[in-house]
């Protein structure tokens, strides 16, 4: 069975850092959902999570990572330990060494290149240290921000998956973007 390794120290490119998700991130996550009433829709949730739900996720995170189910990384601005967003490596298929990446950012830090940098750092970690050989980002076609950030991080636009998922009670199309080790 494969698993995602814990970070011995934060990943950094000198401008941002990624560290393992921790309970101390919960207040900033709640603020981000409050500041952007549409954030839960962008992350594919039916409603914003409660503090208790976020606490439960944080408690389950080490076991989920050890079981190879997911890895949640907190996005930080350089020199700060304040959560500015998160990247989730999820839905791994260990037989084929592939997984999905999902990202969200707090409204006050959007448009500063943090998403592009975080995607690049997380992808490098997953492809070099995480046992993954292919990463995918799936986004609704009208989410131009994530498509642009993913493209800027080096992902290749592969196409449109028509009616691929059910979200909020309806079938939705998703753009698929991918990254493999040769792209790094």
- pTM for the full predicted model: 0.94
Burial class (CB in 10 A: 0-12, 13-18, 19+), 138: buried
pLDDT digit string (tens) for 12-32?
Answer: 999 999 999 999 999 999 999
pLDDT digit string (tens) for 135-159?
Answer: 999 999 999 999 999 999 999 999 9
Kindly write down the DSSP assignment for every residue of 50-62, as one continuous string.
PHHHHHHHHHHHH
Domains of the chain, start order: 11-136 (3.40.630.30)
pLDDT digit string (tens) for 29-87?
Answer: 999 999 999 999 888 888 999 999 999 999 999 999 999 999 999 999 999 999 999 99
């Amino acid at each position: 069975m494969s698993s995602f390794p814990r970070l011995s120290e934060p990943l950094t490119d000198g401008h941002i850092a990624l560290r393992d998700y921790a309970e101390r991130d919960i207040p900033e996550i709640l603020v981000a959902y409050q500041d952007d009433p549409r954030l839960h829709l962008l992350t594919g949730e039916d409603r914003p999570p409660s503090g208790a739900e976020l606490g439960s996720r944080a408690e389950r995170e080490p076991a989920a990572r050890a079981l190879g189910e997911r890895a949640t990384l907190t996005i930080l601005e350089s020199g700060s330990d304040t959560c500015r967003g998160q990247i989730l490596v999820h839905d791994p298929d260990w037989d084929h060494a592939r997984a999905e990446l999902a990202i969200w950012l707090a409204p006050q830090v959007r448009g500063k290149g943090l998403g592009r940098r975080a995607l690049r750092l997380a992808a490098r970690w997953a492809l070099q240290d995480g046992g993954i050989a292919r990463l995918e980002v799936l986004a609704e076609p009208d989410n131009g921000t994530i498509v642009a950030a993913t493209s800027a991080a080096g992902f290749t636009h592969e196409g449109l998956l028509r009616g691929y998922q059910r979200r909020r009670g309806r079938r939705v199309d998703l753009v698929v973007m991918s990254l493999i080790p040769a792209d790094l």
